[in-house]
Structure 1
């Protein structure tokens, strides 16, 4: 089941890792392992940091996987990671369009729903930035009721139109 929606995302702080590869599952498993290592204590203070959802995966040539940092932390307060690939990234507030789908994902399924989102936006005459991400909301061990989204940042003129409605 798919559902198109629009929404605002607040400015947020993320831990992120940029990876390259051609298989979604390989890249996401590696990215998840690196970031999970950090939040499970793989940092200079051996501090555990709560895991939040969704996990954000950019859908670009080189993928960036991001875990949202709990709101109690600022960039300066986060313990330094043991792995040099991990960066702290501040994402500004933005307005996005999203299409939801259930189940496990793959390269093919991600591309299928990305194309469905593009078609739906074109049908409504909505411009976007072409900056797509996959959002996963369930832990890897969760088998049932898996919720996912493909999102795209909306163009500024669309954001202004939505805000005035």
Structure 2
């Protein structure tokens, strides 16, 4: 009697050989199905977390006077900000600054009071000649960066609790007009430089006069997938 070319489900099991084709196919389908049911809930949970963050976090209000693709000219009212000056590279500075500011809003103040988180986080270089003010921003100056949280609109300088950490400063920023470009992905020092160059070129082409350094504004929590992230570069305008 001829030996079968492929072990059958039966003789494969009897002889300790590889499972037959039907068993292998069924096992593969079972693994694929199991993986699918594990991935789908994970994706749904991630979308729910990102969605709830977006719904819960207050952003500064503004009006738009010019919109062209990813570019806008916006007018912001006066806002109160908490800010720190930190050193390091772009990514390290925003992490350090975020930690100090989070300490303040999560009870590190004279009233042990929690203050709602807002978006974005703003980062700006203090050594540059373009300045940015708004949400949470990060900027470097003389090797340092200013990182800012915009305080919820329900607070004023008089009603905010004082920070326990003397590095955290509270101040009111005057109404301002900004030219802004929006982009997705992971914000890096190179993308900040590239988007700042694009924004300056856009401003020049529209005869807009910039009056300060660029600010990088990041709107999403760190676990957000890169293609869902919202970042902006903002430069103040004169007049």
TM range (shorter): 0.7 to 0.9
Give ranges in structure 1 of 5+ residues lacking alignment.
157-165
Name the structure 2 match of 1:140. 222
Query: How many residue pairs get matched?
Result: 154
Aligned to 2:182: 100
Structure with the higher fraction of residues in helix conformation: 2
Q: Aligned residue for 1:7?
A: 74
Q: C-alpha separation between the residues in 1 aligned to 2:121 and 2:189?
A: 16
RMSD: 1.4
Which whole-Å CA distance do the structure 2 matches of 1:20 and 1:155 have between them? 28
Higher strand share: 1
2:125 is matched with which residue? 59
TM-score, normalised by the number of residues in structure 2? 0.61
Q: TM-score, normalised by structure 1?
A: 0.87
Higher Rg of the two aligned structures = 2
Partners of 2:150 and 2:208 lie apart in 1 by 28
What does residue 84 of structure 2 align with?
Answer: 17
Residue equivalent to 1:45 = 111
For CA contacts below 8 A with separation 6 or more, give which structure has more relative contact order. 1
Q: Distance in 1 between matches of 2:85 and 2:179?
A: 24
